[in-house]
Amino acid sequence: MSAREELIKKYAADLKDKCGVTPNMDLLTKVTIGCGPSIYNADASTVAGSQPSELETVKNNFLIKKLGLANTPALDEGIKAVMEKYGHANKHKYRAVVYYLLTLHFKKESVYK
Protein backbone atom coordinates (compact mmCIF):
# COMPACT_ATOMS: atom_id res chain seq x y z
CA MET A 1 0.00 0.00 0.00
CA SER A 2 1.37 3.42 -0.96
CA ALA A 3 2.00 6.23 1.52
CA ARG A 4 -0.94 8.17 0.05
CA GLU A 5 -3.28 5.17 0.44
CA GLU A 6 -2.18 4.84 4.08
CA LEU A 7 -2.96 8.52 4.69
CA ILE A 8 -6.36 8.22 3.00
CA LYS A 9 -7.18 5.31 5.35
CA LYS A 10 -6.15 7.48 8.30
CA TYR A 11 -8.32 10.37 7.03
CA ALA A 12 -11.31 8.05 6.55
CA ALA A 13 -10.90 6.82 10.13
CA ASP A 14 -10.79 10.42 11.38
CA LEU A 15 -13.99 11.23 9.48
CA LYS A 16 -15.76 8.23 11.01
CA ASP A 17 -14.38 8.41 14.55
CA LYS A 18 -14.07 12.14 15.16
CA CYS A 19 -16.67 13.64 12.83
CA GLY A 20 -19.32 10.93 12.65
CA VAL A 21 -19.18 10.96 8.85
CA THR A 22 -19.03 7.92 6.60
CA PRO A 23 -16.72 9.15 3.83
CA ASN A 24 -17.25 8.86 0.11
CA MET A 25 -13.86 7.25 -0.56
CA ASP A 26 -13.72 8.43 -4.18
CA LEU A 27 -14.25 12.06 -3.15
CA LEU A 28 -11.85 11.74 -0.19
CA THR A 29 -9.18 10.35 -2.52
CA LYS A 30 -9.66 13.23 -4.98
CA VAL A 31 -9.56 15.86 -2.21
CA THR A 32 -6.41 14.24 -0.80
CA ILE A 33 -4.73 14.23 -4.22
CA GLY A 34 -5.75 17.90 -4.58
CA CYS A 35 -3.80 18.73 -1.42
CA GLY A 36 -0.63 17.76 -3.27
CA PRO A 37 2.62 17.11 -1.45
CA SER A 38 1.47 18.99 1.66
CA ILE A 39 -0.05 15.77 3.01
CA TYR A 40 3.47 14.37 3.49
CA ASN A 41 4.70 17.35 5.53
CA ALA A 42 3.93 17.14 9.26
CA ASP A 43 3.20 20.86 9.60
CA ALA A 44 1.42 21.46 6.29
CA SER A 45 -0.72 18.32 6.56
CA THR A 46 -2.71 19.78 9.47
CA VAL A 47 -4.83 22.88 9.97
CA ALA A 48 -4.36 24.96 13.11
CA GLY A 49 -8.03 25.60 13.81
CA SER A 50 -7.35 28.25 16.45
CA GLN A 51 -5.04 30.41 14.31
CA PRO A 52 -6.89 33.14 12.38
CA SER A 53 -4.10 33.37 9.78
CA GLU A 54 -4.36 29.63 9.08
CA LEU A 55 -8.15 29.83 8.69
CA GLU A 56 -7.72 32.81 6.35
CA THR A 57 -5.38 30.69 4.23
CA VAL A 58 -7.97 27.89 4.08
CA LYS A 59 -10.60 30.42 3.03
CA ASN A 60 -8.49 32.11 0.34
CA ASN A 61 -6.59 29.16 -1.10
CA PHE A 62 -9.25 26.46 -0.86
CA LEU A 63 -12.73 27.94 -0.66
CA ILE A 64 -12.19 30.90 -2.99
CA LYS A 65 -9.47 29.67 -5.38
CA LYS A 66 -10.19 25.94 -5.51
CA LEU A 67 -13.95 25.73 -4.94
CA GLY A 68 -14.68 29.05 -6.66
CA LEU A 69 -16.80 30.49 -3.86
CA ALA A 70 -17.41 34.22 -3.40
CA ASN A 71 -15.80 35.84 -0.36
CA THR A 72 -18.83 36.24 1.89
CA PRO A 73 -19.42 35.80 5.64
CA ALA A 74 -20.83 32.34 4.79
CA LEU A 75 -17.25 31.13 4.21
CA ASP A 76 -16.18 31.98 7.76
CA GLU A 77 -19.37 30.39 9.09
CA GLY A 78 -18.66 27.22 7.08
CA ILE A 79 -15.10 27.01 8.38
CA LYS A 80 -16.35 27.49 11.94
CA ALA A 81 -18.97 24.75 11.48
CA VAL A 82 -16.37 22.32 10.12
CA MET A 83 -13.94 23.10 12.97
CA GLU A 84 -16.72 22.44 15.49
CA LYS A 85 -17.65 19.19 13.75
CA TYR A 86 -14.01 18.04 13.80
CA GLY A 87 -13.83 18.98 17.50
CA HIS A 88 -11.96 21.84 19.15
CA ALA A 89 -10.22 19.45 21.55
CA ASN A 90 -8.73 17.55 18.59
CA LYS A 91 -5.30 19.11 18.08
CA HIS A 92 -4.51 17.31 14.82
CA LYS A 93 -7.00 18.39 12.19
CA TYR A 94 -5.85 16.90 8.93
CA ARG A 95 -6.00 19.33 6.02
CA ALA A 96 -7.51 16.72 3.68
CA VAL A 97 -10.29 15.99 6.20
CA VAL A 98 -11.02 19.71 6.71
CA TYR A 99 -11.12 20.24 2.93
CA TYR A 100 -13.36 17.19 2.48
CA LEU A 101 -15.81 18.49 5.11
CA LEU A 102 -15.77 21.97 3.57
CA THR A 103 -16.44 20.49 0.13
CA LEU A 104 -19.51 18.72 1.53
CA HIS A 105 -20.61 21.74 3.59
CA PHE A 106 -20.67 23.98 0.51
CA LYS A 107 -22.00 21.20 -1.77
CA LYS A 108 -19.10 21.61 -4.19
CA GLU A 109 -18.40 17.93 -4.88
CA SER A 110 -18.72 18.73 -8.59
CA VAL A 111 -15.31 20.45 -8.44
CA TYR A 112 -13.76 16.99 -8.04
CA LYS A 113 -15.66 15.18 -10.83
Reference 98, options 40, 49, 36; nearest CA is: 49
Residue 90 pLDDT:
84
Confidence class for position 98, pLDDT limits 50, 70, 90 = very high
For 47-75, letters b (16+ CB in 10 Å) and e give: bebeeeeebeebbeebbeebbebeeeeeb
Task: Give the model confidence (pLDDT) of 52-89 as tens digits.
Answer: 999 999 999 999 999 999 999 999 999 999 999 999 88
Q: Structure pTM?
A: 0.96
Residue 1 pLDDT:
83
Point out which residues pair with 93 in neighbouring strands.
Answer: 47
CA distance 36 to 15: 20
Contact assessment for residue 103 and residue 67, using Cβ atoms and an 8 Å cutoff: yes
Give DSSP secondary structure letters for 25-89.
HHHHHHHHHHTGGGGGSTTTTEE-TT-HHHHHHIIIIIIITTS----SHHHHHHHHHHHHHH-TT
CA distance 83 to 13: 17
Task: Tell me: pLDDT of 99 over 90.
Answer: yes
Residue 69 pLDDT:
98
